[in-house]
């Protein structure tokens, strides 16, 4: 076991987009960061970029045994998990609900909803076992509170994340574990870039600032929810959306 004297954070989906921004932000704040992602090469590159003391691990968040093994490995290595960011997610195909294949529905739900459930379950159990009064932030979306055409699977999965967050927050408040969710607006990440590049001006106009978010802006809000500054906040859904949901 490595004792760092620093708080330990686990970030799923931590090798790209919002997860990567969170990993960098936490490392700069003095946390020991464990980056977990499906892409082994990206995991190794991110861990190396963060520097000595940080760790990269490969995981498929749709596989409960892999998630349990991941969390157990973090505890074995560092003795604790103080904070977690569940950021792994997929966008899904742009299809009307009645045209969405069952396999596509299940793929999106498996990553975005099941992945958060499996991660939450393992993280909560690890914190409770160690007596850690920790904090967990789930990366939902503005689509967790509104609807959007041609995205039924994605919208449903993000609504599920918001619901899980609220239920779990009540269940584990007595253990001192705070559980919150953020709702990013459209954000300049690889997840957004390819399918929606041709709609960039339209998407920017949906925000009061007439632009999409930078990943670091989402990471700053996540950091706040993990920090002691947010010690009386649990079960919250925090839109970080440049005014998208204010209309």
Contact 84, 59 (CB under 8 A): no
Which entry of 78, 105, 117, 154 is annotated as an active-site residue?
154
DSSP label at 183? Answer: E
- Write down the pLDDT at residue 136: 99
Q: Cα separation of 135 and 23, whole Å?
A: 15
- Write down the pLDDT at residue 72: 98
Q: What fold is seen in the domain 8-241?
A: Rossmann fold (3.40.50)
Phi/psi at 180 (nearest 5 deg)?
-135, 170
What is the full per-residue pLDDT of the chain (247 aa) written as tens digits? 777 689 999 999 999 999 999 999 999 999 999 999 999 999 999 999 999 999 999 999 999 999 999 999 999 999 999 999 999 999 999 999 999 999 999 999 999 999 999 999 999 999 999 999 999 999 999 999 999 999 999 999 999 999 999 999 999 999 999 999 999 999 988 766 655 555 778 888 999 899 989 999 999 999 999 999 999 999 999 999 999 999 8
Let me know if 186 is a catalytic residue.
no
Which residue is associated with the tokens 């904070």?
83
Let me know if 103 is exposed, middle or buried by CB neighbors in 10 A (0-12, 13-18, 19+): exposed
Q: Cα separation of 163 and 172, whole Å?
A: 15
DSSP 40-99: HHHHHHHHHHH-TT-EEEE--TT-HHHHHHHHHHHHHHHS---EEEE--------B-GGG
Q: Cα separation of 243 and 114, whole Å?
A: 29
Reading the block at residue 78, the tokens are 């560092």
- Write down the pLDDT at residue 15: 97
Let me know if 63 is exposed, middle or buried by CB neighbors in 10 A (0-12, 13-18, 19+): middle
pTM of the full structure: 0.95
Task: Output the CA torsion sign for 48, 17, 39, 58.
Answer: positive
Beta carbons within 10 angstroms of residue 99's beta carbon: 10
């Amino acid at each position: 076991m490595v004792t760092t004297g620093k708080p330990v954070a686990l970030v799923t989906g931590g090798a790209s987009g919002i997860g990567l921004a969170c990993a960098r932000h936490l490392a700069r704040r003095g946390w020991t960061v464990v980056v977990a992602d499906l892409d082994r090469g990206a995991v190794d590159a991110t861990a190396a970029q963060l520097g000595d003391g940080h760790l990269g691990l490969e995981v498929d968040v749709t596989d409960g045994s892999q998630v349990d093994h991941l969390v157990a490995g973090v505890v074995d290595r560092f003795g604790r998990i103080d904070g977690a960011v569940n950021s792994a997610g997929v966008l899904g195909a742009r299809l009307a609900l009645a045209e969405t294949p069952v396999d596509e529905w299940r793929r999106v739900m498996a990553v975005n909803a099941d992945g958060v459930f499996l991660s939450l379950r393992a993280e909560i159990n690890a914190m409770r076992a160690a007596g850690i009064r920790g904090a967990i932030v789930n990366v939902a979306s503005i689509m967790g509170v509104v609807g959007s055409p041609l995205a039924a699977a994605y919208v449903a999965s993000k609504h599920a994340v918001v619901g899980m967050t609220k239920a779990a927050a009540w269940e584990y408040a007595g253990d001192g574990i705070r559980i919150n969710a953020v709702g990013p607006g459209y954000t300049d990440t690889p997840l957004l870039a390819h399918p929606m590049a041709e709609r960039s001006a339209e998407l920017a106009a949906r925000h009061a600032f007439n632009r999409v978010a930078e990943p670091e802006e989402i990471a700053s809000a996540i950091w706040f929810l993990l920090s002691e500054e947010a010690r009386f906040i649990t079960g919250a859904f925090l839109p970080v959306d440049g005014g998208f949901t204010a209309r």
